[in-house]
């Protein structure tokens, strides 16, 4: 973490995860292109620091059978005029119509998106119920087994509201590029769509 901060990559928080020797480092939000660069740098730094101390760091989705695997989740928000366009004080769960349409687009096109984010066979070995892996094509506010989890709303932190789309193998550049240029989602945003909560 200190090395990342020295390199100018803002770290929001870090903590130990469920599995043995598993950790999470959350980087501060920024635009998609900058985040893609930051994540690539983060992966390289983690591996180099681990090697320096005689251990091996892996980002493999399911390196060990029977314990929680590893994944990368991306919190997504759309901003318009400096305000979070996903937030609506009077909306269901404080979500705007735009946010619900965006969420519906992610669910509708999840199979196509998964072809970009989860190319390895090992990605699917992680998809086992009971290990906090996204095994359901649905969304929820607390359930870690859903593909999309909406972070809980906090008064005064409206700008942090986003959608958590879990990625399996972390092919960072294709993932962020596809998020940026993913036309089907934007079509759903423009036309609107039905949404369901699990």
93 DSSP assignment? G
Cβ–Cβ contacts within 10 Å for residue 77, how many? 17
- Give the SS3 label for residue 78: coil
Specify the residue for token string 């369901």.
196
Q: Of 107, 21, 36, 25, whose CA–CA distance to 67 is shortest?
A: 21
- Whole-model pTM: value is 0.76
Tens place of pLDDT per residue across the chain (198 aa): 888 889 888 888 888 888 888 888 888 888 877 888 888 888 889 999 999 999 999 888 888 888 888 877 777 788 888 888 888 889 888 888 988 888 888 888 888 777 777 777 888 888 888 888 888 888 888 787 888 888 777 776 665 655 566 665 555 555 665 555 555 555 555 555 454 444
Specify the residue for token string 């039905």.
194
Longest dimension (CA), the chain: 53
The DSSP result for 147-189, as a single string, is: EEEPPPP-TT-GGG--EEEEESS--HHHHHHHHHH-HHHHHHH
């Amino acid at each position: 973490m200190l090395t990342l901060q020295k390199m100018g990559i803002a770290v929001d928080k870090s903590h130990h995860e469920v599995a043995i020797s598993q950790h999470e480092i959350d980087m501060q939000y920024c635009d998609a292109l900058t985040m893609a660069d930051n994540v690539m740098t983060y992966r390289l730094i983690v591996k180099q620091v681990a090697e320096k101390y005689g251990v091996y760091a892996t980002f493999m989705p399911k390196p060990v059978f029977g314990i929680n695997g590893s994944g990368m989740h991306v919190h997504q928000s759309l901003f318009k005029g400096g305000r979070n366009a996903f937030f609506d004080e009077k909306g269901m769960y404080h979500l705007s119509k735009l946010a619900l349409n965006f969420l519906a687009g992610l669910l509708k096109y999840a199979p196509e998106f998964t072809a970009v984010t989860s190319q390895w066979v090992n990605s699917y070995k992680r998809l086992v119920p009971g290990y906090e892996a996204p095994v359901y094509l649905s969304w929820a506010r607390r359930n870690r087994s859903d593909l999309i989890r909406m972070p809980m709303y906090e008064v005064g932190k409206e700008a942090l509201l986003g959608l958590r789309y879990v990625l399996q193998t972390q092919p960072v550049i294709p993932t962020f590029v596809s998020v940026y240029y993913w036309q089907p989602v934007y079509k759903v945003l423009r036309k609107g769509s039905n949404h369901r909560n699990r």
